[in-house]
Amino acid sequence: MRIDLFKMERTQCLYENEVEHNLSESGVLPMRVQELLDGSPDPGWLGAARLKYPASRGSETLRDRIGQFYGGARRDNVMVTNGGSEANYVCFWGLLEQGDRAAVMIPNYLQTRGLARAYGGRADSFRLAERRAAGGARWALDTGSLERAVTRRTRLILVTNPNNPTGAVLTEEEMDAVVRAARRAGAWIVSDEVYRGAEVSGPTSPTFWGRYDKVLVTAGLSKAFGLPGLRTGWIVGPAKTIARLCSYHDYLTLTPTYLSDRFAEIVMEPARREAVLARTRGIIRANLPALEEWIQAQGELLTYIRPVAGAIALIGYRLPIGSAALFDRLRREQSVLVTPGAHFGIGRYIRIGYGYDRDSLRRGLQRIDALLEGLRRGRARRRCAATGP
């Protein structure tokens, strides 16, 4: 089996520890172990823990608490994985056969497009598009592209909601449109909801769970919860399907880690869960103005739609350079790592993460300024040369 090069992850693995300013991060500043232990009724358990195999699907307590996050899900609806990426992998591996087609939202974290091509053979794109009106701008579902992408051969529809990289959240009407398309084709919906709970303002984003009988939700503690090092993810779905997917997980990592399972129990206790998510929202709301001030200072060079959720912002630019080339020059010349639009299946955009240290964010943005100014001057010189004296 051949699989696409996952360019975003490969470049981050190669360069994230080599640059001075890593603005490619897509979560918030990770929590410390002590912060988690402060929320535990028995903080001394860690030193006494015996590092055994945990329950393969995750502990009953953890699965109960994950189910509560989705309202109405029970422990039999939940399987714990090692990160949200493994959750996505298990879903695509377990659902797709050669000859199947998957409809995949673009822009997106392209792990899922690569998996669709590897296990099914065909990934058909449907899109979020920039919509600007008197009431403001947003990334909206292009329902026409959804209708074209979902055919009678479609086995799976992948949505990421809240979306990576745009930070957009589907409206209730848009979610209904996805469900209608799935019903028409008899397809599964796989909804990656790893950013749910990291809203810039307003209530927790709606979930696809409970809207249709063939829904699998994937998520984890990496993004909204600020705990990527725990490598805790999960799948929420119909009990019989979860039981079947467990046999696929048996060929991968078998179980979550014992310590991650115990820490995740603490995090997902309902009151503690809301406190952790409040911390994330506080970081997002404190840091976003610094990024927006920088964007506004660029004038008409940049375009931007405010994210609804997640510590990520997708920024368009008006310069004669492709996003991969811009990414590479920023890395080599300014020691700044961003994520190019090309890594999400789109054109002249960059994604900037703003959830870590605010001062480092500002310094990184100043480095980007230096390169943008050089590109501006070059564009101006070319225009002068084209018009002549």
Q: Would you kindly state where each structural domain of the chain is located, as residue ranges? A: 7-30+274-375, 45-269
> What is the SS3 string spanning 239-264?
HHHHHHHHHHHCCCCCCCCHHHHHHH
pLDDT at residue 179 greater than cutoff 60: yes
User: What does the buried/exposed string (b/e) look like for 339-368 if buried means 16 or more CB atoms within 10 Å of the residue's CB?
Assistant: bbbbbbbbebbbbbbbbbebeebeebbebb
Q: How confident is the model at residue 4, as a pLDDT?
A: 93
Evaluate whether 7-30+274-375 and 45-269 have a shared fold. no
Dihedral-angle region of residue 143 (phi above 0 means left; psi in -120 to 50 means alpha; beta otherwise): alpha
pLDDT 10s digits, 52-85: 999 999 999 999 999 999 998 999 999 999 999 9
| Residues in Cβ contact with 146 at an 8 Å cutoff, skipping those fewer than 6 apart | 103, 126, 177, 178, 181
Where do we find the tokens 């500002």?
362
Q: What is the pLDDT averaged over residues 286-305? A: 96
pLDDT for the residue numbered 76 = 98
Run of H or E including 213: none
**pLDDT at position 381:** 57
What's the pLDDT band for 387 if we cut at 50, 70, 90? Answer: low
How buried is residue 297: exposed, middle or buried, by Cβ count under 10 Å (0-12/13-18/19+)?
exposed
Q: If you average pLDDT over residues 293-312, what whole number do you get?
A: 96
Q: Are 355 and 167 in contact (CB under 8 A)?
A: no
Fill in the DSSP letter of residue 204: P
CA distances to 188, 303, 314, 354 from 317, in Å = 36, 6, 10, 18
Residue 133 is predicted with a pLDDT of 79
Strand partners, 126: 105
5-11 CB contacts, 8 Å cutoff, 24+ apart: 6/110, 6/111, 6/114, 7/110, 7/342, 7/343, 8/109, 8/110, 8/339, 8/343, 8/344, 9/111, 11/327, 11/343
Question: Do 388 and 357 contact (CB within 8 A), yes or no?
Answer: no
Percent of the chain with pLDDT over 70: 97
Q: What is the C-alpha separation between 156 and 91, in angstroms, rounded?
A: 10
Q: What percent of the chain has pLDDT over 90?
A: 90
Give residue 386's pLDDT.
Answer: 52
Rounded average pLDDT over 338-346: 97
Q: Is the per-residue pLDDT at 210 higher than 80?
A: yes
Helix, strand counts (H, E) of the chain: 13, 14
Q: How confident is the model at residue 136 (pLDDT cuts 50, 70, 90)?
A: confident
Assigned superfamily of 7-30+274-375? Aspartate Aminotransferase, domain 1 (3.90.1150.10)
pLDDT value at 379 more than 80: no
Whether 385 has a pLDDT exceeding 60, the answer reads no
- pLDDT tens per residue, range 355-377: 999 999 999 999 999 999 989 87
Report CA torsion sign: 294, 300, 303, 305: positive
Confidence grade of residue 382 (pLDDT, cut at 50, 70, 90): low
Average pLDDT score over residue span 31-50 = 86
Distance between alpha carbon 64 and the CA centroid of its chain, in Å?
24
Rounded average pLDDT over 322-345: 97
Burial of 220 (0-12, 13-18, 19+ CB in 10 A): buried
Q: What is the mean pLDDT of the chain?
A: 94
**Taking the CB of residue 137, how many other CB atoms lie within 10 A of it?**
13
**pLDDT given for residue 72 in this prediction:** 87
Query: Has residue 26 got a pLDDT over 70?
Result: yes
Per-residue model confidence (pLDDT) at position 2? 86
Per-residue pLDDT for 316 more than 90? yes
Residue 389: per-residue pLDDT: 57
Separation of alpha carbons 231 and 92, rounded Å: 19
The angle formed by the CA atoms of residues 7, 9 and 14, to the nearest 5 degrees, is: 95
Average pLDDT (177-202) is 98
Cα of 205 vs its chain's centroid, Å:
14
Decide if pLDDT at 29 tops 90. Answer: yes
Helix (H) or strand (E) holding 298: none
Residue 378 has pLDDT above 90, yes or no: no
Over the stretch 99-120, which tens digit does the pLDDT of each residue have? Answer: 999 999 999 999 999 999 999 9
pTM: 0.95
CA separation for the pair 356, 370 (Å, rounded):
22
Closest CA to 81 of 252, 224, 267, 210: 252
CATH of 45-269, one of 3.40.640.10, 1.10.10.10, 3.40.50.620, 3.40.190.10: 3.40.640.10
Helix (H) or strand (E) segment spanning residue 93: helix 83-95
Residue 96 predicted with pLDDT over 80: yes
